[in-house]
Structure 1
Amino acid sequence: MATDSTNFVLRWIYIDGNILKTQLDGVIYDKPVAKHFKLNIGMKYADLCDVLFSKLKINRDKYGLKLKYRCKNPDDLKFGIIPIDDDEDVELMFGVVVSKGNPLFVELYVEKLLIGTGKNLTKNPHVGVGVTFENNFVERVGESSYSRCLEVDAIVESRASSEKSSFQSSSSSKMLVSIDDSILKSGDDVMIPMELRKGMLFKSKKELARVESGCNWMLKARKRSVHNHFEIMETSGAHTCMNTTITQDHSNLKSMDIAEAIRAQILVDPNIKEKVLLATAEDVFGYHPNRKKISNAKNLVIEDVHGSWEGSYRELPHLMEALQLFNVGTKVDWDFKENEMREVMTFKRVFWAFKPCIDVFEHCMPIILIDGTHHYGPYPGVLLSAMAVDGFSHILPLAFAIVEAENLSSWGWFMDRVRKFVAGRRHGICIISDRHAGIMAVMQRTGWCEPLDHHRFCIRHLATNFVNAHRKRGLKKDLVKLASQVQPKKFELLWNQLVLIEPRTIEWFEDKALEKWSLAHDGGKRFGIMIINHAESWNNAIIDARNLPITSLVRSLFEKVVDYFDARRVEIATQSLNGGIFTKFATMKLRRAIARASGHQVKLFDRDTWLFQVTTKKDGLKGGNNHIIRIHEYTCTCGKW
C-alpha cells in the first residue's frame, strides 16, 4: 500500500486492557488491536482526543482519556511507554514517528477515566491504580524521547514494586501456589493436589486447572487486581482426593494434559502427524481421545513455544523492523486491505528480501525459479519464494512473500517487487516456473516479457500435466527425454516417436511454444536448468516451519538464509586452501568435458575469427559427427554450447 508519510500515519489503537512488562520486549498490551485508522501529522491534542472519542464511541460526558504510546529504545530494542498530556507531547510523538522512517505501525494506548474520580478502568496494578505522570517530569525529559521512555518506565516499575511490597505485607496469610510447589504430589499420570483451600493463589488459570484436574471436586476462583493472580474464592468442602489415574470419562482427559505428554515430540517435529500423537496419548493415559483434543493439544504446545497465531501477526511488524535495522538494505513491503469506510486496515500481504541475497544475485546466473507453498494454521496463506542458483549449483533464496492465495493479483504483486527490489535494471533474466495461470499472465506484462526477459516451463510439471491429460504409461519419461535434447535433429526423431505413441500430442502442444519447454529451441536462456527442483527442495527444507505462526516462519527463513551464507563461506575457504580456482561444481563439469573430448579431432579453419571444426570420437555406431565451433560467438552446431 502506498502512503504519503508526510501527511498521515496509520495508528493501532488499544483499549480496555492492561500494559504488561516482559523481559523480551519491554512492555506489551494484553488485548488485540481495537481499531486501525489514520491520524494527520500536525494535529493537536484536542483534535486527537476528538478523533478517539468519535472512533471508539466513548461517552465524553462520562469518561476522560489517558493516552500513552509505545516507543522503542534503540540501545536494547525494548519498548517503553510515553504519556501524552498536551500539544507538546503530541508533537513529540509525531517527531518520533517520522524519525523512525517507517510510520505504518505506531501504537496508541487509550485508558478511560471516570470523570470526577480519576479512577483508571484497567485492571493491571502495574499501570492502573495510583500511577500518574507528573507534568514537571514531562517537561524535564521532553528533549529526548528515548530517555523519557525509559524514565517513565522506571517510575511505573518503582510504584509497582511499592504496591507489591504493600500487598505482601498485608496478605501474608495468602499462599502463592505453582505447579512445581511441594503442595503437589506426583501420581502415575498427573500431579495430584493433597489439599486445596480458600485463599490459595495461582499464577495463571492454566496452573489452577492443571492442579484440580482428575476429580469431580469443585472450586470457584477469579483473578484479582490487587495481586494479579488467580485466588480460590470458594470450595465445595475439603479437598483430599487421592486418585492416581484419570478415569475413562471424556471430561476428565483434557487437551492440557495431552499437551504435556506430546510436547517433546512436537518440539522435535512440529509437522508430526496427529495419528502419531494419538498413539502417544493412548500409551500415556490408556484412553483413546478424539482427534479434536489431539489437535487442540498440539496447538497448545505450539502457542506455548511460538506464541499465539493472533499475537504473531501483531508482532510481525516489529520483527520486520528489527530485520531491517540489523540488516541494512533489507527490503520489506506491505499490502493492506481497507474496509468500505477506508478506516480499518487489515493485513493482506508482506514481501521481504534480505540485503546479502540481493547483492549476491548480481554474481549468479540470470535465472530465477519461482514457486508457492501453503502456510498452514488458523489463518492459512501461501508462501511465495524466488530462488537463484549460485556457482556451487546450490539454491540461493532471493525473496519471499506471505500472500492470501496463489492468483493473478498475488503473483503480480510479488513479481513486481522482485523486479523493483531484487532484479532492478538487470535484464536477460529467465524465469522458470510451473504453468500456474497467475504466473502465465504475469509473465506477459511489461517488466518480465520478451525480448528483455524470458519465461520457461518446469519440464517436470509439464510432463505431469501431459500424463494426466492422456493417461498412458511411459509418457512422462518420454516427454522429459524429448524436452532435454540439445540437438534439433534428435528432438525431431523423439518427437515423431512420441506422436506415434500418442497422436493427441500435436493438439496438446499447439498453444505451448517450443522455446518454453524444449532445450533444443531454448536459445541458451535457461542454462540447462529444466526443473524448479531447487525451489521445491527449499520448500521441503522449511516444511516444519509452514505449520508455525507467521513470525516463527519468518525467523526460520532468516535462520536458513544465515546457514546458507555460513555454509558457502566454509566451502569457499576450503576450496581456496586446496588451490581451487573454480567452484567444485564448475571444476567437475570441466573435468567431465575434458574427459569426453579426449578422443575428438580439432581442425582450425579461420584463425582471425577462431572458427574450428570438431569431429567427435567414434564409439561403435555413435560419434564421428562434424560440428562447427565459433569461439567468439560462443556457439557450436552440436547445440550444447
Structure 2
Amino acid sequence: EDVPDLLSDAKDEEPFVGKLYATKQDCQIGLAIYAIKEQFYFRQTRTSRHSFVLSCHDVRCDWRILAKELTNCGYYTIKKAQLVHTCTIDTRNLYRKKATSKVIAHVYKSRYNEPINGPKSAQLQTMILEDLRVSASYMKCHRAKEQAVEDTVGNAEDSFLNLEDYFERLKATNPGTVTAIQTELDIEGNTRFLYGFLSFGASIQGFRKLRHVLIIDGTHLSGKYKGVLLTASGQDGNFQVFPLAFAVVDGETEDAWTWFLTKLERIIADSTNLTIISDRAAAIIKAKRTVFPMSHHGACIVHLMRNVVSRYKNKGLAKMVCEAAFSFRRRDFDANFAKIKQANGACALYLEGIGTAKWSRTYFKGERYNLLTSNTAEQLNNALKLSRPSPIIELFMFIQRMLTRWFSARRTKSAKCRGFVTTEVEKVMQTHIRLTKGSKIANITDWSYQIRGLFGHPNTVSLENKVCTCQVFQKLKIPCGHALLAADSIGLPYVNLFGDYYKTQTWRDTYAGVIYPEAPPGDLPIGDLPIGDLPIPEEVTTVTLLPPQTRRPSGRPKEGRIPSTGEIPVPKKKKLTQNKCGRCGQTGHNRTNCVVPI
C-alpha cells in the first residue's frame, strides 16, 4: 500500500530521487534511454541482489545513481542521485553502446501495442535513428523485434512444451475436435516436435454439408523455428472460404503431405465423389495417390498459367490457356486449344503432357463446380499472414479466434438471408437470366425444351435430368438461363433446380457449430459441459516436448512470402532512342555540335 502508482508519462523524464520503476530491468533500460538522449555513457560499478550503482564512464566525473529494490516487492527506486556531469564532451561518445537490442525492444514495445504487427527490421532502423539519433545494425533491430514479440506473445520454446496441454484444453471446449502431434527422437534421445494437426469439430460438421471439393495449400512461417503451415479448406454455399484443417510441419515434403492427408482421411473418407485441388507439386501428387487414390485431383489453373508465362515468356499464351480451361463445352475447348497449338506447339505438348483432364473444366472426370483455382486457399493464407512469425500456440490461438469471428459473422449473415438460395448464388442466377433474355422456347417433351438465343444458337435442356447442352447446368449445379426459361414456361419453382448445398437452410446449418477458446488450466468451460477439474492424460504431463532442431539460415532473415514460379513480373526492356538535333532534326549529335549552316 505504500508503493504509489507508476506514472506512464514520466518514463523519459530525468531521473530523480524517489522515482519508481516496475522491475530492475525497467530501471536499467529507462536509465539507458536517458543516457542515450543526453549523450553520455555510464557503467555499472557495483551490483548486489537488491541494488546496483551506476557511475559515469569518466572516473573523475561525479555523476552517480544508486538504485535499490523497495521492500522486497520487485519495484526499484532511485535512492541517491548525483546528476551533474564534470566530464568533457569527448569522453561521452560511447553512449551509442547503450542502444542494445533490449533497449530497442523496449522502445519498440512502447510504440506498438502488438509488436508482431509492427514495422519490419529495416523500418525499425529508421525509427531508432529518428527517435534516439543512434545507428543500429539490421541484425540488432531484428533481434530487438524478436525480443519484443517474445515478451508479448510468449517464448517459442515454452510454446512447444505447452502444446499438448493446449490441445487437450481446446478439445474440452470443442467436442469433436481432432488434434495430433507427431514427434521424433534426436541423437540424445530427447522428444522433439515434428508435425502438429488441428481441425475443429464445428468445421468438420460444417464441411460435411458442403460440396465435396477440398483445396490444399501450404504457406511458409517466419518464426524462430520456421516451418510450413498446411491448410485444407472448402467453399460454402455462398462462395466463401470454409477452413477445415491446419497443420504445422517442417516443410512441403512428401512425408509431411502424406501425414497431413492421412489425418484428413480420418475426417473425409476417400471416394470417387471427392475432388482435391492444389498446385502440381510432386510431393502433393505422390501423397494424394497414397492416401486418396480414389478421389480426383485437379490442377490450379492460376499456377498453370504462371508456369506457362515462366516457360514461354508469353502472357497472351497464358490467356489462351485460361480460356480453354474455363470452357464448358467440348467444341469451345477444342477451338481454344487449336489456337494454342497454332501459337506455340511446344506449349500444347506441355499441356497435353500434364493431362487435359487435370486442368480443363470440360474433360475433368470429377466435380469441380466453379473451383478451377486454389484461390480459396490463397485467401485463407492471406488472412493468416499476421500469425506467421508467432510461436506455435499463438499461431493456433490466432486461427481459433479468426474462425470464431468468421462463424459468428456468417451465422448472422445467413440468418438474415430471405431467399431460397444464398446471396452470391442468387447473383449468378440473375446473370444467367440476363444472358438468355429474349430467347425463344420450343417444347420437345414434358420436361425437355429447346431454347434458341437471339443469335440463333440452339440449346436443349432437360429439367428432369438437370442437364443442358451448354454444360453450365451440370458443371456448376446451378441452373443456366435456358433451364430457368424452361422452368418459367411450366411454372416450376426455381428451388427445385438447385442442389441442396446452395440453399439457404444448408448455409445456416453449415455454421451451426460454435468454436470456443481453450478451457482455462484445471477447469472445464461454462456451458453444456460440467464444471470441474480437467483431467490431463498422463502421457501429456510426462512427455517433455522440445522444439524441432533447426539452424538459422545465413544472411538476412526473410520476412516476406516466397513468390512462386511466374509470380514475379518480368520487367520490359526499354528501347534505346537517340536524341535528335534541335536545329536540323538529325540524330547522332546535338544543337551545339551541329554543322548544318543556318
Shorter-chain TM-score bucket reads 0.5 to 0.7
Which residue of the other structure, out of 42, 49, 53, is the alignment partner of 1:216? 42
| Structure 1 residues not aligned, in runs of 5+ | 1-167, 169-174, 224-229, 619-623
Q: CA deviation at 1:524?
A: 5.8
Question: How many Å apart are 1:221 and its aligned residue?
Answer: 2.7
Q: Which of 435, 445, 461 is matched with 1:629 structurally?
A: 461
User: Match for residue 287 of structure 2?
Assistant: 442
Aligned in 2, Cα 1:292/1:628: closer, same or farther, shift over 3 Å?
same
Q: Relative to 1, partners in 2 of residues 1:542 and 1:248: Cα closer, same or farther, differing over 3 Å? A: farther
Higher-RCO chain (CA-CA 8 Å, sequence separation at least 6): 2
2:136 is aligned, of 279, 289, 298, to 289
1:232 to 43, 47, 52: 52
What do the CA deviations read for 1:175-208 (whole angstroms, capped 9, x no partner)?
99x9x868x9958xx4554469xxx998755234
Return the offset for 1:266: 6.6
1:432 aligns with one of 277, 280, 304: 277
8 Å Cα contact 2:388/2:395 also seen in 1 = yes
Structure 2 residue aligned with 1:61: none
Match of 1:496 among 311, 334, 338: 338
| Structure 1 residue 241 displacement after superposition | 3.6
Structure 1 residues 405 and 206: CA distance shift in structure 2, 3 A:
same
Report matched runs for 1:305-454 at 5 Å. 305-339=152-186, 343-420=189-266, 422-424=267-269, 428-445=273-290, 447-450=291-294, 453-454=295-296
Moved more, 478-487 or 350-359: 478-487
SS of equivalent residue, structure 1 residue 443? helix
CA distance in 2, matches of 1:330, 1:442: 24
The match for 2:390 is 548
2:414 matched residue in structure 1: 572
Give the secondary-structure state (helix, strand or coil) at the position aligned to 1:509.
helix
Q: Is the 8 A contact 1:601 1:615 kept in 2?
A: yes
> Which of 422, 428, 433 is matched with 1:594 structurally?
433
Contact 1:266 1:298 in 2 (8 A): no
How far apart, CA to CA, are the structure 1 residues paired with 2:54 and 2:333? 85
CA deviations on 1:612-639 (whole Å, 9 max, x unpaired) are 3222232xxxxx2222323343322222
Instruction: For residue 591 of structure 1, give the secondary structure of its aligned residue in structure 2.
Output: helix
Structure 2 SS opposite 1:287: coil
- For 1:319 and 1:474, how far apart are their aligned partners in 2? 51
1:476-502: CA deviations, max 9, x gaps? 222212211111111111112122221
Q: 2:174 is aligned with what amino acid?
A: N
Q: Distance in 1 between matches of 2:125 and 2:186?
A: 42
Matched, 1:475 2:317: yes
Q: Counterparts of 1:514 and 1:232 in 2: how far apart (Å)?
A: 75
SS across alignment from 2:472: coil
Q: Structure 1 residues 185, 302: closer, same or farther in 2, change over 3 A?
A: closer
For residue 145 of structure 1, what is the aligned residue in structure 2?
none
- What's 1:254 paired with? 100
Aligned to 2:491: none
2: CA distance between counterparts of 1:316 and 1:385?
Answer: 19
Structure 1 residue 361: Cα displacement: 0.7
> Quick one: distance in 2 between partners of 1:442 and 1:604?
50
Q: Distance in 1 between matches of 2:299 and 2:113?
A: 38
Instruction: Report the Cα distance in structure 1 between the residues aligned to 2:124 and 2:364, rounded to whole angstroms.
Output: 50
Conserved 8 A contact 2:210-2:235: yes
- Matched residue type, 2:293: C
Q: 1:520 aligns with which of 362, 371, 387?
A: 362
Q: Distance in 2 between matches of 1:521 and 1:433?
A: 17
User: What is the one-letter code of the residue matched to 1:629?
Assistant: V
Provide the rounded CA distance (Å) in 1 between the counterparts of 2:414 and 2:47. 63
Offset from partner CA, 1:419-453 (integer Å, 9 cap, x none) = 10x213665111110111111112222x4224xx2
Query: Are residues 1:560 and 2:402 paired?
Result: yes
Letter in 1 for 2:400: F
Q: Secondary structure at the match of 1:599?
A: coil
Question: What do the CA deviations read for 1:118-175 (whole angstroms, capped 9, x no partner)?
Answer: xxxxxxxxxxxxxxxxxxxxxxxxxxxxxxxxxxxxxxxxxxxxxxxxxx9xxxxxx9
**TM-score normalized with structure 1 length:** 0.63
What SS class does the counterpart of residue 582 from structure 1 fall into?
coil
CA contact (8 A) 1:449 1:455 kept: no
Map 1:200-215 onto structure 2 (within 5 A): 204=23, 206-213=25-32, 214=35, 215=41
The amino acid across from 1:636 in the alignment is C
Match of 2:545 in 1: none
5+ residue gaps, structure 2, are 36-40, 66-81, 474-598
Q: Which amino acid aligns with 1:612?
A: Y
Alignment check: 8 A CA contact 2:116 2:389 kept:
no
For 1:625, give the aligned amino acid. H
Give the direction of change, closer, same or farther, for the CA distance of 1:185–1:252 in structure 2 (3 Å limit): farther
**Pair 1:617–1:308, CA change in 2 (3 A):** same
CA displacement at 1:353 relative to structure 2:
0.2
Could you say which residue in structure 1 is the equivalent of 2:450?
613
SS in 1 for 2:395: helix
Check conservation: 2:212, 2:275, Cα contact below 8 A. Answer: yes
Say if 1:375 and 1:382, in contact at 8 Å, map to a contact too. Answer: yes
Q: Within 1, Cα distance between the matches of 2:230 and 2:276?
A: 14
Count of aligned pairs between the two proteins: 438
**Cα separation, 2, equivalents of 1:524 and 1:455:** 8
Q: Report the residue type matching 2:275 in the other structure.
A: C
Structure 2 residue identity aligned to 1:500: Q
**Higher mean Cα deviation, 230-239 or 509-518?**
230-239
Q: What's 1:59 paired with?
A: none
- 1:515, 1:523 within 8 Å by CA — same for their partners in 2? yes
Shift of 1:211: 4.4
Q: Distance in 1 between matches of 2:169 and 2:154?
A: 18
SS at match of 1:372: strand
1:315–1:191 CA distance, 2 compared to 1 (3 A): farther
- Judge which range, 231-240 or 497-506, deviates more: 231-240
Q: Could you report, residue by residue, the CA deviation over 1:46-93 in whole angstroms, capped at 9, with x for unpaired residues?
A: xxxxxxxxxxxxxxxxxxxxxxxxxxxxxxxxxxxxxxxxxxxxxxxx
The 1:185–1:423 alpha-carbon spacing in structure 2 relative to 1, beyond 3 Å, is: closer
Give a deviation string over 1:197-231, Cα, whole Å, max 9, x none. Answer: xxx998755234314423323234354xxxxxx44
Partner SS state of residue 328, structure 1: coil
Summarize the Cα distance change of 1:428–1:222 in structure 2 as closer, same or farther, 3 Å threshold: farther
Q: 1:280 aligns with which of 93, 110, 127?
A: 127
Q: Distance in 1 between matches of 2:187 and 2:43?
A: 52
1:63-78 alignment to 2 at 5 Å? none
Aligned pairs for 1:174-193 (under 5 A) are 190=12, 192-193=14-15
Contact residue 338 and residue 346 of structure 1 kept, 8 A: yes
| TM-superposed deviation, 1:385 | 0.3
Q: Is the 8 A contact 2:101 2:140 kept in 1?
A: yes
Mapped to 1, the partners of 2:179 and 2:46 lie a distance apart of 49
Identify, as 1 or 2, the structure richer in strand: 1
Q: Is the CA contact 2:337–2:348 (under 8 Å) kept in the aligned structure 1?
A: no
Distance in 2 separating the partners of 1:219 and 1:186: 26
The amino acid that maps onto 1:630 is: S
The corresponding residue for 1:150 is none
Determine if the alignment matches structure 1 residue 536 to structure 2 residue 378.
yes
Distance in 2 (alpha carbons) for counterparts of 1:580 and 1:627: 28
Q: What amino acid sits opposite 1:312 in the alignment?
A: S
Return the alpha-carbon distance in structure 2 between the equivalents of residues 568 and 192 of structure 1.
53
Amino acid at match of 1:278: Q
